[in-house]
Structure 1
């Protein structure tokens, strides 16, 4: 009587889908995310001169500015990506991307921006 129950339990355990281990988001994927969500304002050259900057009273950050970017802690960069400019007392025009990007993608964006500014850890 116990043997069929144990066999059934064993088979059930073997065929339960395992949670997929998330692979780290590549820098290539982070660059694609930047092009999709950030380049309109921050520019394809990452220098803050995107196509949507005409008429803005506050210009977007130049992500190639090594000194200015080095002064920003990773947590602040993560927060502004996730919650938008207002979260760090910056422009309300900087949108929050926390609904569009998952936490792993946001973390990859922080790493990517460190590469762009040549101020990485």
Structure 2
């Protein structure tokens, strides 16, 4: 069982946000290969290989790609998601990015 407010719980909640809002473009593996990815140029980012820090990820989720001089197709989620959901999804993305960087065990 997850601790209610621990980092694992936050990453779990973030995975729920990701699979509800981000998976269509970024894909179930967060590698930029979602069902809708082929419709966009540039394609959605491979979030598993991101070098962005949590603060930047929060901003792009909140403001969208165009406001951050990135893809205009990345929508701004700041009006739809709560601050907690944005924090949770960025922690989730950081956690999967950390696992990729660590490599196989």
Q: Name the structure 2 match of 1:64.
A: 48
Q: Name the structure 2 match of 1:30.
A: 14
Superposed, 1:1-121 pairs within 5 Å as 24=5, 26-65=10-49, 69=50, 71-118=51-98
Pick 1 or 2: higher relative contact order, CA cutoff 8 A, min separation 6: 2
**How many residues in Structure 1 have an aligned counterpart in Structure 2?**
93
Structure 2: which 5+ residue stretches go unaligned? none
Q: Any idea what SS the aligned residue of 2:39 has?
A: coil
Q: How far apart in 2 are the matches of 1:82 and 1:73?
A: 14
Q: Any idea what SS the aligned residue of 1:31 has?
A: helix
Structure 1: which 5+ residue stretches go unaligned? 1-22
Give the TM-score, by structure 2 length.
Answer: 0.80
The question of whether the paired residues in 2 share the 8 Å contact of 1:82 and 1:96 is answered with: yes
Q: How far apart in 2 are the matches of 1:77 and 1:29?
A: 16
Deviation of the 1:75 alpha carbon? 1.6
Q: How far apart in 2 are the matches of 1:51 and 1:59?
A: 11
| RMSD between superposed Cα atoms in Å | 1.6
Poorly superposed stretches of 4+, deviation over 6 Å:
none
Q: How far apart in 2 are the matches of 1:57 and 1:83?
A: 19
